[in-house]
Amino acid sequence: MMPTKTYKDAGVDIEAGEKLVRRIKRDVRSTFTRNVLTDIGAFGAFYRADFRGIRRPVLVSSVDGVGTKLKIAFAMNKHDTVGRDLVNHCVNDILVCGASPLYFLDYFATGKLAPSIAAEVISGFVRGCKENGCSLVGGETAEMPGFYSEGEYDIAGTIVGVVDERRIVDGKNVKRGDVLIALPSTGLHTNGYSLARAVLLERFRLDQYLNELQATLGETLLTVHRSYLKTVHPLLSTSRIHGMSHVTGGGIEGNTMRVIPKGLRLSIDWSAWERPAIFRIIQETGNVPEEDMRRTFNLGVGLILIVPPADADRVLKVLKRKRERAFVIGEVVRA
């Protein structure tokens, strides 16, 4: 008689998945607004399209992941921050279009589901959503034996937001002479980790304290990708913002050129700010060419506002009142 083989024998534990859902349900529900009409577990998430105060609502969506920053989380066995990284990254992507977030959906995939680790990751999603005022309306947990190395997982997220069509920020109004105002990053955010790991982990341990960082290397590399929503969104109704860029893979120039019209280019003063120590350590340790540094990392600049020269001082003063360390890094010039 042939031995029986179950789905669990093949590596998929449905009970573990159900245990995870029970464990996270209360926290996820805590992100719901009155617009969320379904509970966790439905086949689809229902969100009431109620856009009071917005004359011509336009939905803005984005999807992303956090790349090989996850490798640092695995190595340090710390899983409660990468979810915040992902939510904040997605929020920033639609923020630079002028949108505010409505709801977020996550995808968590692993070889063998460990409910305690998955719950930590999802707690990061929950915290990120609460901090940004959006609802975590659903997600997918996939257990795929043999696809991921033991103890590893991948995450992705989709965000949906809304903007009044009249207030879309897409760079069409960018003109020669416009000023580039930079908002500082909190470190690498979620880009450049493949190069950073290749360089740093040959010489340093993640638990090694570095005086220049005033923290361990691992703590620095897991610093949460910040959200600029609360700083930037209020400016959109009070200031002329011609364009914005979220500085991710491709660096300052690569991302900002995405919203620069033809016939124009960027003139950046690369000496206008002091780079956080982590970037200098990466460059010196790996002898990384300056061109690669600029193309790979944010170098301490997480988001850029493109404003008319007549408005620049006022925008800087508003940001200073918010205790934001903003600074001018260049301007838009003729190509």
Q: Where are the domains of the chain?
A: 14-167, 179-334
pLDDT for the residue 52: 87
pLDDT of 121 strictly over 90: yes
> For residue 122, how far is the Cα from the chain centroid?
15
Check residue 2 and give its pLDDT: 67
pLDDT band at 46 (very low <50, low <70, confident <90, very high): very high
Confidence band for 11, pLDDT divided at 50, 70 and 90: confident
Q: What CATH topology corresponds to 14-167?
A: 60s Ribosomal Protein L30; Chain: A; (3.30.1330)
**Residue 259 burial (CB < 10 Å; 0-12/13-18/19+)?**
buried
Averaged pLDDT of the chain: 95
Helix (H, G, I), strand (E, B) or coil at 145: coil
Would you give the DSSP letter of residue 136? Answer: E
Contact 320, 295 (CB under 8 A): no
- Is residue 66 over pLDDT 70? yes
- Is the model's pLDDT at 10 over the cut of 80? no
Q: What's the rounded Cα separation, in Å, for the pair 40 and 30?
A: 11
- State in words which class domain 179-334 has: alpha beta
Average pLDDT rounded to a whole number, residues 280-293: 97
Render pLDDT for 157-176 as a digit per residue (tens, 0 to 9). 999 999 999 999 999 999 99
